[in-house]
Structure 1
């Protein structure tokens, strides 16, 4: 057996791999394209429409000159195109509602049956179930509710003008959805809009006697359907829940389901959550959470079933 010279074996300290600049750029691009969202869209919509929906998100990221002009997109559950603005948060709102099913009650079958029974009972008595979408953005939640409660009257309230124009376009094929350009509030006044982040879903209202936008109250909206009764009130108003729940809250006891998103995370120690729960807690209700949304079911639903 031969011998190996010690001089033939050289031990060196391992050197870190040099960064391949092209590989790093490709990795950054892949991360930016969020391929996991493609797979979610495919599972929800099928390969063809899921991929098409994903390209609506991904393609603008490959261009430095992507504009924000609204474009149509098709998803299986809506019989007409929905209009979204590329390179904005519109796609993520669509994802939350139609891919993640953010307003679905299917996780809580007993509560879902109670809401459906209440809806059917209203119709049997000749009454109109009313759904309020407060902070309707571009109308996607209103479309989702309209698909599941075909005979409900839906009032979709949105204060930001650009969002409202898309809202009106998206719900134009649904006569049971009424778009309203206003801010939901506890009283009749005017507000100014602020949006420090610049994203379409982040408009907040601040009360001002000479403000740019008129307010509307829950009571006002319910009175627009003389033979109507509240079924669902959905609230996503970027901290405006403090003012909404400040006064004139008799509608809470009348409403079987209130869905809301809290905004204490915005900071300022304003007590948005306290404003909501201090009012809701005066009536027995069940609370369930799905993603960012809290679902508050009135116990009167259980007594009816």
Structure 2
């Protein structure tokens, strides 16, 4: 049994080396060991996959190496690679690894990344800074309307939950939230070629109301659904749309969205 695990690990590392390079694989292994053995020196590891124009920073004792594995090694976003994409909303950007993947896969794309957690936001801003005007990072959250939300951390920095602020929350960590229609306006995009959503269950709130204010202006969706209730609400919201659906790892991808009663879609976001 142990030998099987060793063999599987060796094969996985060989696959990783082929995908991201030998040195980045060693750096990723080191970051994973840091997480599993709970030691924190050095505090950061810079990893430079062969297909990125710039390295990315991963933090010690966080879920960053796990997220790196999903995006950079297991290539979860690969099914999007053949689409024509020039504008992306990255909701739940974490430390910017998905945005970095998009910026390198689509040379002309502009990314508007939204991240609620202050530490994640800081690293995300650093990881995306080399892409200059092609990437804009905003500290905030996606919601069904404009609101002030309270942050809750569960297992790690990648597992952040939010809820609306109450009178008892005066000393809690808060963040401003917007509905997606307003995030599209903030981004300056007239239409959005891809909305990527990984918001730890908040998709339930996002997709249960006000979707007609923004969904007609989105061509493709890529989402991680965190419960059966989220899945049911999401696909119910898309019931009046046609699209091509596929799974990639933990992601549900809905491509070529178009309203059933208006195949061409709208042209301008309503004021």
Q: Is the pair's TM-score, using the shorter chain for normalization, greater than 0.5?
A: yes
Q: Tell me, yes or no, if structure 1 residue 144 matches structure 2 residue 107.
A: no
- The one of 84, 99, 114 equivalent to 2:58 is 84
Q: Tell me, yes or no, if structure 1 residue 241 matches structure 2 residue 200.
A: no
Pick closer, same or farther for the CA change 1:299–1:161 going to 2, 3 Å: closer
Q: In the TM superposition, what are the counterparts of 1:111-190 in structure 2 within 5 Å? A: 113=82, 115-116=83-84, 119=85, 129-175=86-132, 176-190=134-148
User: 1:232 — aligned with what?
Assistant: 194
| Whole-angstrom distance in 2 between the partners of 1:84 and 1:169 | 11
What RMSD over aligned residues (CA atoms) do the two structures have, in Å?
Answer: 2.8
Contact 1:89 1:200 in 2 (8 A): yes
**Deviation (angstroms), 1:260:** 0.6
Unaligned runs of 5+ in 1: 1-26, 107-111, 120-128, 266-270
Per-residue CA deviation, residues 101-123 of structure 1 (Å, 9 max, x unaligned), is: 101117xxxxx65x32xx4xxxx
**Deviation (angstroms), 1:36:** 4.8
Pick closer, same or farther for the CA change 1:205–1:100 going to 2, 3 Å: same
Pick closer, same or farther for the CA change 1:280–1:200 going to 2, 3 Å: same
Contact 1:230 1:254 in 2 (8 A): yes
Contact 2:146 2:177 in 1 (8 A): yes
Task: Tell which structure's C-alpha radius of gyration is larger.
Answer: 1
User: 1:105 — aligned with what?
Assistant: 79
| Whole-angstrom distance in 2 between the partners of 1:242 and 1:74 | 35
User: 2:241 — aligned with what?
Assistant: 283
Contact 1:68 1:87 in 2 (8 A): no
Pick closer, same or farther for the CA change 1:91–1:226 going to 2, 3 Å: closer
- The one of 214, 218, 226 equivalent to 1:255 is 218
How many residues are treated as equivalent by the alignment? Answer: 252
Contact 2:221 2:254 in 1 (8 A): yes
TM-score, normalised with respect to structure 1: 0.74
| Whole-angstrom distance in 2 between the partners of 1:163 and 1:39 | 30
Unaligned runs of 5+ in 2: 265-271
Contact 2:161 2:201 in 1 (8 A): yes
**Deviation (angstroms), 1:252:** 1.7
Pick closer, same or farther for the CA change 1:166–1:225 going to 2, 3 Å: closer
- The one of 184, 187, 190 equivalent to 1:222 is 184
Pick closer, same or farther for the CA change 1:200–1:35 going to 2, 3 Å: farther
TM-score, normalised with respect to structure 2: 0.82
**Deviation (angstroms), 1:88:** 2.1
